[in-house]
Homo-oligomer: A and B are copies of this chain.
Amino acid sequence: MQQFVEQAKPYAKYGKVADYIPALRKADPNDLSIAIYAPDGTVVCAGDTQEKATLQSISKIIALAFVLMNRGEEEVFKKVGMEPTGDPFNSIAKLEEKQPPKPLNPMINAGALAVTHMIDGADVDERFHRLLTFVHRLAGDSAITYSKEVAQSEFETAFLNRSLCYFLKQHGIIDEDVEPLMDLYTKQCAIEMNCIDLARIGLVFAMDGFDPIQNDPIMPPHIARICKTFMVTCGMYNASGEFAIKIGIPAKSGVSGGILAAVPGRFGIGIFGPSLDEKGNSITGIKLLELLSKTYSLSIF
């Protein structure tokens, strides 16, 4: 594994750290850590596995699973579609074209905001606490919390997400106030963990929602499968098609440089490598997954 990491690391120089959220700019582009979690509890790691990073867009797939469990498919898919889009994750143009203007899928920002809107609770604190508890169970780690600094930094600068929220509100996709929703969403994105936690969450998806370590049926198999499908069709922003062809593993990335991957029936993978390519995916993380997928034939296709 360490060898793969060494092979992938030099690619960091072709990318750059996310700069649109001020607090993310501090990341070291040369960091790279990976963990692979097997159903029998074996963990193989490399790099500084104690380094923590925020989930960012990876949280979209976790929130989707949570909301599907709470609200059911029918209700969720009334507010968000199932189709991939060739547009960037923060595009608003496509929303206007479609009638009704339902976000095309839950992995683009507009769709993710509609999903987070459906997290139930009396207030932002309760809603976030419910989601965080779900994360604790998924990762088997109740110490996981969120980065106040990153949440605050994103909250202060997320004008485009507010633009999307108001557009959704205009069209009745969301009906709560925008500021509390932004508060909840930026906290969700700022949930922080190391790559081992991330790999363990990947394992739960890989095992169809069942946690083999705790013998805990965390989510129904059909919901885990829906999530893995979205990971394949739109988990890697508008590079998902290329990722599916070259690597073929259900995965979700975030602009912190994280990637959550789930090799069905076999294991979960967690990676953090903050140097991003132009689509917003970890450039070293993708390289690492490509090496793994080719060496061990991990593609689902």
Contact = CB atoms under 8 A, between A and B. Distances in A.
A81 interface: yes
Contacts of A141: none
Most B C-beta atoms less than 10 A away, residue of A160, A232, A248: A232
A94 interface: yes
Contact of A166 (B85, B163, B234, B250): B163
Interface in A233-249: 233-234, 238-242, 244-245, 248
Contacts of A91: 96
A60 interface: no
Interface secondary structure of A, over-half rule: helix
Interface stretch (A3-11, A29-37, A119-127, A221-229): A221-229
Interface string A208-224: 00000000000000000
Q: How many copies does the complex hold?
A: 4
Contacts of A86: 83-87, 94, 98, 104
A192 to B, nearest CB: 25
Contact of A92 (B96, B104, B226, B238): B96
B233 A244 contact: yes
A264 interface: yes
Given A163-B170, A225-B248, A301-B229, A241 B84 contact: yes
A169 B162 CA distance: 10
A62 interface: no
B164 A163 contact: yes
A82 interface: yes
A159 interface: yes
A299 interface: yes
Contacts of A241: 81-84, 105, 229-230, 233-234
A143 interface: no
A164 B167 CA distance: 8
Contacts of A163: 92, 162-167, 170
Given A82-B242, A83-B241, 8 more contacts: A83-B240, A92-B92, A159-B166, A162-B166, A162-B178, A166-B166, A230-B241, A232-B232
